[in-house]
Amino acid sequence: MDKYALLTKISRSNLERDVKELATRWPTRHTLSKHHLAIVAHLETRFQAIGYRPTRHTYEHSGKQLQNILAQKPGGSGGAILLCAHFDSRQEDLGAPEARAPGANDNATGVAVLFEMARLLKDIPLRVPLRFALFSGEEQDLWGSTAYAAACQKRGEKLTLVFNLDEVGYPDKAKNLFLDRDEGGVPANNAASAKLVARLATLAKTVVKVPTKIDPVEASDYVPFEQLGYVVTGLYEGEYRYPHYHKSTDTPDKVDFAYVADMARLTLAFLLDYAK
């Protein structure tokens, strides 16, 4: 059987559903908004519907108890692959937690791809554990991922790698998938990240058949892990090209769902290549 046959099972309609639901069900997903716990409960329900038993990682910031959501797929021995995305959103004024911020591209797209990976890999045997993480507080200087990375380090967890999904719905003119390579921070993990990105580029060319470009790791939830020495990479089309970044106009109609599906195919190809 073709190792990558599962790529044909990626559902664009699932991706559209999750993006539209997250972007329209609440006016904002700002971490300090009154909707935070309702959104957490919704995301837990989505994991449960796929067949997982999600858990909450609670951390305190700004005088509030805030939540990340985790789900685990067992695998063989060794450290888990952490596949992560942030679920919060924001308006231009970060200090206005109730201002309308649909956050369709940033980052309902990453959440949607993560859920599609959880669904498709649910019953696929893997040689390493796969952990899914949905982080809050990314828009407030990476609160949630910083707290969780510190917790992993405190427990002595040897994560195999951290793969981050952030803003994966707005392509450049050439429809490049942007691959994130660690080029700074802790130099010891740069070479390992470069190898992962080289493998991603090969899979993109030979399996998914899409063009790619390389961007540096920056300004998203893999950074706290990189700073603690973990190996990181991810997909991130970049806010600098997106005219609706942190605006009330970041709505589902601005998302290129064919591009999101390509991002999902490359993510799945990588996970099958690396962990199966």
Of 197 and 241, the one with more pLDDT: 197
Q: Does residue 107 have a cis bond before it (omega within 30 degrees)?
A: yes
Report the DSSP beta bridge partners of residue 60. 65
Task: Evaluate if residue 77 carries a pLDDT over 90.
Answer: no
Q: pLDDT tens, 147-191? A: 999 999 999 999 999 999 999 999 999 999 999 999 988 899 999
Instruction: Determine the pLDDT at residue 237.
Output: 85
Segments of the chain assigned E as strands: 55-61, 64-73, 81-86, 130-135, 161-165, 177-181, 212-216, 232-235
- Under 8 Å between Cβ of 90 and 167: no
Among candidate residues 63, 45, 114, the one with its CA nearest the CA of residue 86: 114
Percentage of the chain beyond pLDDT 70 is 99
Instruction: Determine the pLDDT at residue 241.
Output: 84
Percentage of the chain beyond pLDDT 90 is 95
Task: Evaluate if residue 233 carries a pLDDT over 70.
Answer: yes
Task: Evaluate if residue 89 carries a pLDDT over 80.
Answer: yes
Q: pLDDT tens, 97-140? A: 999 999 999 999 999 999 999 999 999 999 999 999 999 999 99
Instruction: Determine the pLDDT at residue 239.
Output: 62
Q: C-alpha distances in angstroms, 172 versus 36, 81, 145, 205, 253?
A: 32, 29, 28, 17, 16
Q: Model-level pTM?
A: 0.98
Euclidean distance between CA atoms 252 and 231, whole angstroms: 32
Task: Evaluate if residue 78 carries a pLDDT over 70.
Answer: yes
Instruction: Determine the pLDDT at residue 1.
Output: 56
The stretch 256-268 carries a mean pLDDT of 98
